Amino acid sequence: MPIRTLAEPSELETLNLADPGTHAEYDLSEVWSWLRANEPIYWHPPVDAAPGFWVVTRFKDVAAIYFDNKRFTSEKGNVLTTLLQGGDSAAGVMMAVTDGRRHTEIRRILLRAFSPRALGGVVENLEQLSRSLLREIVSAGGGDFAGEVAAHIPLATICDLLGVPSSDRGSLLEWTKAALSADGPGQSAADIWQARNDILGYFEVLARQRRTRPGQDAVSVLASSLINGRPLSMEEVVSNCYSLILGGDETSRLSMSSAVLAFIEHPGQWEAWKRGEAATAPAVEEVLRWTTPAMHFGRTALEDVEVGGRLIRAGDIVTLWNNSANRDEETFADPFRFDLSRSPNKHISFGYGPHFCLGAYLGRAEIAALLTGLRELVTELEVSGEPRWIYSNLLSGMSSLPVRLS
């Protein structure tokens, strides 16, 4: 079983939520519960040279701020790392950190590539790949589920959508893993910077090719579309490709491994799933709620706003903790129970409001394919070694999950 220290609420003042090691080394469930009940809008003090920031933990407050793009903006960054550094260089060009009319225009273009009709062939491929990888690891009696199965399905899927050649996908996997998380505490800022620039450089070359020879893929859609008669700038095309590859790979990859661990830790739900007692759609939603691969997103207040009885000042950084909101006792009945038949289940794993995740349909399809493959091909599963949690203040999941499968 994963070895993480259970942090006590009394330790809150010494916990640095911006430190990736905090989330890799500690189980914060008791801390989140205490904050929801006692200080749901919590001021996290400055650490070293970084500014302080608000920590929002209740579902209703998180959802309200997500929906309010008039008083809270994404354009100064939408994750702690960039917010604490003073801003995001992609603001105004990458859809995720763009608000208002331009956000709507870019989103409308990308919806063409992410519609269920456009994704038909992509979903068929991912279902076949899921079964193939599961057959291989079952035939071997087990292995590292995170590295041998979960690492490949989402990457192959988003690369199919983007039209990335198979020969380039290994490099993209390494770059995406390094850009948002690390396998251990030793990753340097230079390593992260290099990985992000490698991704951007790769997609600039690909986008220039697709601008002259467009296909049906998402890169071609971005490179060839017009807004008010003008093409998107190359910076807009490349930045949004960067956002798509990271969002499409990292979150699904991590939720898949965490889903398998959840089955191992909750054998009753595994048996219920094997017996067909839970339908696929609610099971997918519960996996998304339970695993919550993107722990937080951030906003900056544009004006003074009162939330939950606390005054948030204009310019303050506000972090919205999805992993706490998805365990909120006021929203979910028995929230610490993994229940594949849970209904209703209005989790917030894909965000909410104007920035609701564009790839939600694809993410659900990936998890559904994995769950279906597990039910059809796997009889028993157990942990065979110590899982290794990633180091990230944004993402939650494992870089390694040794398992035995039959």
- Strands 72-73, 296-301: pairing is antiparallel
pLDDT, residue 145, reads 98
**Cis before 344? omega within 30:** yes
Instruction: Find the mean pLDDT for residues 368-383.
Output: 97
User: Which band of pLDDT confidence, cut at 50, 70 and 90, is reported for residue 181?
Assistant: confident
Q: What is the pLDDT of residues 300-319, one digit of tens each?
A: 999 999 999 999 999 999 99
What are the residue ranges spanned by the domains of the chain? Answer: 5-405
Q: What is the pLDDT of residues 230-286, one digit of tens each?
A: 999 999 999 999 999 988 888 899 999 999 999 999 999 999 999 999 999 999 999
Average pLDDT, the chain: 94
User: Which band of pLDDT confidence, cut at 50, 70 and 90, is reported for residue 201?
Assistant: very high
pLDDT, residue 186, reads 65
59: helix, strand or coil: helix
- Percent residues over pLDDT 70 in the chain: 99
Q: What is the DSSP letter of 94?
A: S
pLDDT, residue 294, reads 97
pLDDT, residue 1, reads 44
Is it the case that residue 405 has pLDDT exceeding 50? yes
Is residue 44 within 8 Å of 60, Cβ to Cβ? no
What one-character-per-residue DSSP string does 120-132 give? HHHHHHHHHHHHH
pLDDT, residue 180, reads 75
Instruction: Find the mean pLDDT for residues 203-208.
Output: 96
Alpha carbons 371 and 223: distance in angstroms, whole number: 35
pLDDT, residue 249, reads 83
Q: State whether CATH 3.40.50.1980 applies to domain 5-405.
A: no
Is residue 312 within 8 Å of 318, Cβ to Cβ? yes
Q: Packing angle between helix 169-180 and helix 234-265, nearest 10 degrees? A: 80
Is it the case that residue 330 has pLDDT exceeding 60? yes
Length of the chain: 406
Residue that has been written with the tokens 């595994």 in this structure:
270
**Phi-psi category of residue 276: left, alpha or beta, with phi > 0 → left and psi -120 to 50 → alpha:** left
Name which residue leads in pLDDT, 115 or 12. 12
Taking CA 378 as the corner, what is the angle to CA 402 and CA 134, rounded to the nearest 5 degrees?
65
Residue that has been written with the tokens 């597990």 in this structure:
374
Instruction: Find the mean pLDDT for residues 374-388.
Output: 96
Residue that has been written with the tokens 């390094």 in this structure:
178
Q: What is the pLDDT of residues 63-110, one digit of tens each?
A: 999 999 999 999 999 999 999 999 999 999 999 999 999 999 999 999
- Percent residues over pLDDT 90 in the chain: 89
